Amino acid sequence: MKSLIVANWKCNPATLKDGQGIFREIKGKMGLVKSEVVICPPFVYLPVIGKGLVLGAQDAFWEKAGAYTGEISPAMLRDMGCRYVIVGHSERRRVFRETDEMANKKVRAALAEKINPILCIDRLSQLKAGIKGLNSKDLKSLIVAFEPLSAIGTGRPYPAGKAQKMYWGIRKIIGKDARILYGGSVNSGNASSYVKEAGFQGLLVGGASLKPREFIGIIKEIS
Ligand code: PEP
């Protein structure tokens, strides 16, 4: 199976022009890369960021439509061509007080629209709560991202050996089908330790995904 590399641009860059520049540069340097690469830009850039790379969103609401000012539904994301959506990112949990229950509703809403949810967790209790109500078919479309809090955006990557222990804890709960990614201060120097040594099926990359050369370096390391 191809590795999956997801770029989480968060609330960056400040202009569409800069976003399109990063997108073009990544696309231009992809060459014969064998990994599946997903770009998750801010919502407003989704329909106009560019063509030729798979798109994902950084969040989604759980309702299809209605009186929910400011929210974006999975159905809308699907209409914009998104195939993946990040759910329960630690920044959503910390800054916006999102709970396990909300993450679970978002996972289920994404699956109902045939969008692959990328459920972010830093402990197994979040995983168990996030997958409540899912059946074995749902688990085939689920992606779990292990993102230890101490490593996200800090420049302090989690030791690959410790991440591997968590990998097996996750695998035991979700079974053999769902893909498991590592995220947290990934760069071109440490990427392969998570995929080739610890056995993750891919990576969720924040800061480094906004630097095309570094991002391509990561992709090439694990391809
Ligand atoms: C993230 O935000 O999901 C992330 C992994 O960030 P960074 O790569 O910057 O640590």
What is the per-residue pLDDT across 62-112, written as a single tens digit (0 to 9) for each? 999 999 999 999 999 999 999 999 999 999 999 999 999 999 999 999 999
Is 212 near ligand 1, meaning CB less than 6 Å away? Answer: no
Q: How confident is the model at residue 155 (pLDDT cuts 50, 70, 90)?
A: very high
> pTM of the predicted model, to two decimals?
0.97
Q: What's the gap in Å between 66 CA and the centre of ligand 1? A: 32
Output the pLDDT for position 33: 79
Mean pLDDT along residues 143-170: 97
Q: What is the pLDDT of residue 31?
A: 78
Q: Could you give the angle at the alpha carbon of 130 between the alpha carbons of 222 and 63, nearest 5°?
A: 105
Predicted confidence (pLDDT) per residue in 5-54, tens digit: 999 999 999 999 999 999 999 999 987 777 899 999 999 999 999 999 99
Atom of ligand 1 nearest to the CA of 151: 10
- The reply to whether ligand 1 has any atom less than 6 angstroms from the CB of 56 is no
In this predicted structure, what is the pLDDT of residue 62?
98
Check if 214 is active-site: no
Closest alpha carbon to 206 in 41, 11, 42, 10: 10
> Is 92 within 8 Å of 98 (Cβ atoms)?
yes
pLDDT tens for residues 71-80? 999 999 999 9
β-bridge pairing 54-57 and 36-40: parallel
113 pLDDT more than 80: yes
Q: Which pLDDT value is given to residue 65?
A: 96
Partnered with residue 37 across adjacent β-strands are 5
State the pLDDT at residue 1: 78
Cβ neighbours of residue 74 closer than 8 Å, sequence gap 6 or more: 60, 61, 64, 85, 109, 110, 112, 113, 115
Strands 36-40 and 179-183: unpaired
At 223 the pLDDT is 85
Which of 86, 90, 147, 218 has most ligand 1 atoms within 8 Å of CB, for mutation? 147
**CATH number for position 42:** 3.20.20.70
- What is the band of 184 on the pLDDT scale with cuts at 50, 70, 90? very high
Domain count across the chain: 1
pLDDT tens digits for 197-219?
999 999 999 999 999 999 999 99
The residue type of 178 is A
Known catalytic residue: 113? no
Instruction: Please report the beta strands in 74-160, taking only residues with DSSP state E, as ranges in sequence order.
Output: 82-87, 116-121, 143-146
Of 8, 12, 203, the one to substitute when testing ligand 1's pocket (max ligand atoms within 8 A of C-beta) is 8
The parent domain of residue 64 ranges over: 4-222
Per-residue confidence (pLDDT) for residue 123, from 0 to 100: 98
* Atom of ligand 1 minimally distant from the CA of 145: 3
